[in-house]
Amino acid sequence: MKRRKFTTNALVKKAKKDEHHNWFVENSKFISKIDHPLDAMMKMFSMNEKNASPEKITQDVLVLSAKKDHFVPIKMHKILIKKLTNARSVTGLIYDKETNANNHCQIGNIPLVCKDTLDWLNSN
């Protein structure tokens, strides 16, 4: 119990000093719907290759990636596409500096991402 309290306090302290760390903690809490920072982080860390099942996906899939994503490395784009073995179709788009959408969630050119997504939806 002491270690848990110590770890939670250290996590919260670091989040107060580092905006990226704070974003990760708060985003983890939001995504997991878990209010306790340490529990939310542990849930996020459990989301790994052992617990993913991309082979179960059978619908059309659009994978959007950004070359300079601060959270999801670009190498994950190809890895994910290769693992979608049973998807009806897989379309992958990678945004770069020239498109001005090369950040996480393609921040920088939302209209382009919306257009590409709508074009994909209309074609599938």
pTM above 0.75, yes or no: no
The number of domains in the chain is: 2
- Sole residue written with tokens 């999801």: 72
Residue 112 and residue 76 share a domain: yes
Residue 37: which domain range? Answer: 2-49
Decide if 95 contacts 113 (C-beta within 8 A): yes
List the pLDDT tens digit at each of the 124 positions of the chain: 788 888 888 888 888 898 888 888 898 899 899 999 889 888 888 877 776 788 999 999 999 999 888 778 888 899 999 999 999 999 999 999 898 888 887 888 899 999 999 999 999 8
Residue 105 and residue 77 share a domain: yes
Helix (H, G, I), strand (E, B) or coil at 64: strand
Residue 23 and residue 59 share a domain: no
Residue 89 and residue 30 share a domain: no
What does the alpha-carbon distance between residue 45 and residue 10 come to, in Å, rounded to a whole number?
17
Residue 104 and residue 82 share a domain: yes
